[in-house]
């Protein structure tokens, strides 16, 4: 089985396209954050961080509730069309809300994000599906163009030609434009609507709640840190997250490919869980050298990358590295639950950890500052991984030869 899992991924042209595309997107995200961190104060970087948390929450919510539904039935065109139209509607409404929020808060980054939100999330939906089950070369090409435009703007900012706001505009506008080009290329419906389909709506609702109290809840907790210590803790956490950005290459690539990969092994629950465990172990082995090297990063290099934010971000780097590893491990077991359409069980697991998370993290941040917030996040991620894998093993045992548990 080990050779089967490794050879399946190693021979996959789709995997190569996904790695290149997501790798470039990860580098572009890193370049964007570095460019803004270097040219702004901690307070301005915190304002940018709030906008990025909003983007990550919105894209993650749609990916979990709607894109994953299409990926779980990759050959069903009706599911794809229905899911995209729903995602388009949610993105439009959310974009309007972001513009209003940004105007009231005086946050230009939120206003820019709101204006381009529909295009950005359309882009994320189509390229994620294409990367895993559609036109992989198209996903790679479109992501590469977007990434190169973002990195070019970031380099110009580092050279002093563009300011932080202009770089963010370049990232958001080029991503939105890429989304509309992909909509034309993929022949997606232009009219956003919430089509009536009771089963899809029920599953989408469960997985949306699952995200909101899981990784989405983690993002919301990060955003709430902006209320403490003049947003310095938020700046520290997002600054450390910038250095951990290359992890997105692994998490995004593996997550999108894992759903169809596990779905093809759903006729053997024992084989599926063994394959999932080996994928999780492979991720950890692959990432460990990078994480160790990151802890040894000289302070002078850190300041060159993050500017004034480095001094605070360095305090959170080790615990957030540990959190990232456990998050990747948990995500594999979560994908197994999605393939089984175990929405109710997934939501119960998320609630068990997600509800206490903001209270624990904010309380630790209040008493122990940056390190208190970061180490509490790492501890919660470790508990979360144990809970998810325990449930996945139990789910595989219960569903062996039975109908899927929802």
- pLDDT tens digits, 55-69: 999 999 998 888 888
Residue 397 CB neighbours (<10 A):
11
pLDDT for 81? 87
Place of tokens 């548990």: 405
Please list, in sequence order, all residues whose beta carbon lies within 8 angstroms of the beta carbon of residue 55, skipping any fewer than 6 positions away: 113, 117, 120
Token duo for residue 398: 């219960």
DSSP letter (8 states) at residue 63: I
pLDDT for 262? 67
Mean predicted confidence (pLDDT) in 277-303: 86
Which of 359, 348, 353, 346 is CA-nearest to residue 383?
353
Please list, in sequence order, all residues whose beta carbon lies within 8 angstroms of the beta carbon of residue 270, skipping any fewer than 6 positions away: 396, 400
Q: How far is C-alpha 95 from the chain's CA centre? A: 18
Segments forming the whole domain that contains residue 80? 2-399
pLDDT digits (tens, 9 = 90+) for 320-361: 999 989 988 888 887 777 776 676 777 788 788 888 888 999
pLDDT for 235? 84
Q: Half-sphere exposure of residue 180, counting CA atoms within 13 Å on the CB side?
A: 9
Which is it for the CA torsion 62, 204, 247, 353, positive or negative?
positive
In a domain, 406, yes or no: no
Per the document, the length of the chain is: 406
In a domain, 151, yes or no: yes
- CA distances to 30, 70, 209, 252 from 25, in Å: 9, 22, 27, 10
User: pTM of the predicted model, to two decimals?
Assistant: 0.79
Q: How far apart are CA 180 and CA 273, in angstroms?
A: 38
Give the 3-state secondary structure of residue 244.
Answer: coil
Q: Which is higher by pLDDT, 214 or 327?
A: 327
Give 7-13's long-range contacts (Cβ < 8 A, gap of 24+).
8/261, 9/257, 12/257, 13/136
Token duo for residue 239: 């600054």
pLDDT digits (tens, 9 = 90+) for 173-183: 999 999 999 99
Domains: count for the chain: 1
**Confidence at 251, pLDDT banded by 50, 70, 90:** low
In a domain, 345, yes or no: yes
Q: How far apart are CA 327 and CA 251, in angstroms?
A: 9
In a domain, 405, yes or no: no
**Confidence at 394, pLDDT banded by 50, 70, 90:** confident
End-to-end C-alpha distance for the chain, whole angstroms: 28
Token duo for residue 118: 């529909």
Give the 3-state secondary structure of residue 327.
Answer: helix
In a domain, 404, yes or no: no
In a domain, 291, yes or no: yes
- CA distances to 224, 354, 357 from 212, in Å: 14, 8, 12
């Amino acid at each position: 089985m080990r050779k089967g899992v490794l050879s399946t991924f190693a021979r996959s042209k789709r995997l190569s396209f996904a790695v290149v595309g997501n790798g470039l997107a990860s580098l572009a995200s890193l370049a964007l954050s570095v460019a803004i961190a270097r040219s702004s104060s901690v307070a301005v970087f915190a304002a940018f961080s709030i906008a990025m948390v909003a983007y990550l929450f919105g894209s993650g919510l749609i990916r979990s509730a709607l894109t994953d539904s299409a990926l779980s039935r990759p050959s069903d065109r009706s599911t794809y069309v229905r899911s995209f139209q729903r995602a388009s509607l949610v993105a439009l409404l959310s974009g309007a809300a972001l513009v209003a929020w940004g105007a009231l808060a005086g946050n230009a980054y939120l206003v820019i994000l709101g204006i381009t939100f529909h295009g950005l999330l359309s882009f994320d939906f189509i390229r994620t599906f294409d990367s895993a089950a559609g036109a992989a070369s198209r996903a790679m090409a479109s992501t590469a163009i977007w990434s190169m435009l973002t990195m070019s703007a970031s380099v110009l900012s580092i050279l002093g030609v563009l300011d932080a706001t202009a770089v963010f505009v370049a990232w958001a506008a080029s991503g939105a434009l890429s989304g509309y080009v992909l909509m034309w290329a993929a022949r997606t419906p232009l009219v956003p609507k919430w089509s009536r389909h009771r089963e899809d709506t029920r599953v989408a609702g469960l997985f949306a709640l699952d995200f909101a109290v899981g990784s989405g809840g983690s993002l919301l907790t990060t955003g709430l840190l902006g209320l403490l210590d003049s947003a310095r803790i938020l700046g520290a956490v997002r600054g450390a997250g910038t250095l951990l950005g290359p992890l997105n290459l692994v998490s995004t690539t593996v997550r999108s490919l894992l759903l169809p990969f596990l779905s093809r092994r759903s006729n053997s629950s024992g084989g599926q869980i063994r394959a999932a465990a080996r994928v999780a172990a492979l991720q950890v082995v692959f990432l460990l050298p990078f994480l160790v090297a990151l802890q040894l990063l000289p302070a002078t290099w850190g300041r060159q990358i993050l500017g004034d934010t480095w001094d605070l971000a360095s305090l959170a780097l080790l615990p957030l590295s540990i959190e990232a590893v456990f998050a990747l491990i948990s995500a594999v077991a979560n994908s197994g639950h999605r393939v089984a359409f175990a929405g109710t069980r997934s939501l119960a697991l998320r609630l068990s950890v997600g509800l206490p998370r903001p209270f624990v993290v904010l309380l630790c941040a209040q008493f122990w500052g940056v390190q208190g917030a970061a180490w509490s996040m790492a501890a919660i991620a470790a508990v979360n991984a144990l809970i998810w894998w325990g449930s996945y093993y139990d789910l595989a045992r219960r569903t062996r030869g039975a109908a899927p548990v929802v």
